[in-house]
């Protein structure tokens, strides 16, 4: 089954807030495997409205993010997009977990000892 994932990121981490994210990672996932290299888009300024538009126009099926406000969460749900929010992780781990179908809302994939300094 083909899925298209958008993840808001900040440096190496899943961005703590959807509305403040300026980097997004887009990946095509086919039968649980990455189809091609994920691409990163840098936005000139943060905007949750623009992100929503990008998600709809880009036919994204899954969104992985940190915090997202209720209104945009409900909007994306209404558009039948799967939103896994509240994730605290480095984006690679989040991507791997998502590919494996194991990423859950509010999941923390950072062990304190593993985390090296500021994001």
Partner 1 sequence: MMNSPVQFEMQTILEGIPHPAMILDRAFRIVEMNRLLEALTGYEIGSVQGIFGELVVRSNTGNSRGQLYNRVVETGRPFSATGDVLDGSRRKIPVLYNIAPLEHHGSCNGLLVIVEDLSARGGDHFGTPTEIDTSDFIAQSPNMQKVMDMTSLLAHTDASVLITGETGTGKDKIAEIMHRESERARYPFIKVNCGALPVDLLESELFGHVKGAFTGATRNKQGMFKLADRGTLFLTEIGDMPLSLQVKLLSVLDDKKFIPVGGEQSIDVDTRIIAATHRPLRQQVVKGEFREDLFYRLNVLHLHLPPLRERLVDVELLLHHFLHYFNQRLGKSITGFSESAGRLLRGYLFPGNVRELRNIVEYCVNICNEKSIRQEHLPAFLFQAQAEVIEPDGREDQLTATAGPPEAVPIAAAKKHGGSWGAIERQMIVDMLTRHGGSRKLAAEELGWGRMKLWRRMKKYELL
Which 16-75 positions form the footprint of partner 1 (CB under 8 A)?
Answer: 16-17, 19-20, 49, 52, 66-71, 73-75
77 binds partner 1 (CB under 8 A): no
Q: What is the dihedral of CA 29, 35, 37, 40, to 10 degrees?
A: -40
Nearest to 96 by CA among 40, 38, 16: 38
Q: How far is the CB of 66 from partner 1 (least distance, A)?
A: 6
Helices (H), 8-111: 48-57, 70-78, 91-99
Distance (Å, whole) CA 57 – CA 4: 12
Binding map of partner 1 across residues 90-119, x = CB under 8 A, - = no contact:
--------------xxx-x-xxxx-x-xxx
Which 3 state secondary structure label does DSSP give 84?
strand
> Which chain residues interact with partner 1 by CB under 8 A?
10-11, 13, 16-17, 19-20, 49, 52, 66-71, 73-75, 78, 85-86, 88, 104-106, 108, 110-113, 115, 117-119
């Amino acid at each position: 089954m083909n899925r298209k994932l958008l993840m808001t990121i900040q440096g190496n981490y899943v961005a703590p807030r959807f509305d403040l994210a300026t980097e997004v990672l887009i990946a095509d996932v086919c039968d649980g495997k990455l189809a091609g290299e994920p691409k990163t888009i840098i936005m000139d300024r943060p905007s949750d409205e623009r992100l929503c538009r990008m998600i709809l126009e880009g036919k994204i099926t899954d969104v992985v993010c940190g915090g997202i406000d209720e209104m945009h969460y409900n909007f994306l749900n209404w558009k039948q997009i799967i939103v896994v929010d509240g994730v605290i992780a480095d984006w690679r781990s989040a991507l791997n977990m998502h590919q494996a179908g194991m990423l859950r809302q509010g999941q923390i994939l950072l062990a304190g000892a593993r985390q090296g300094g500021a994001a």
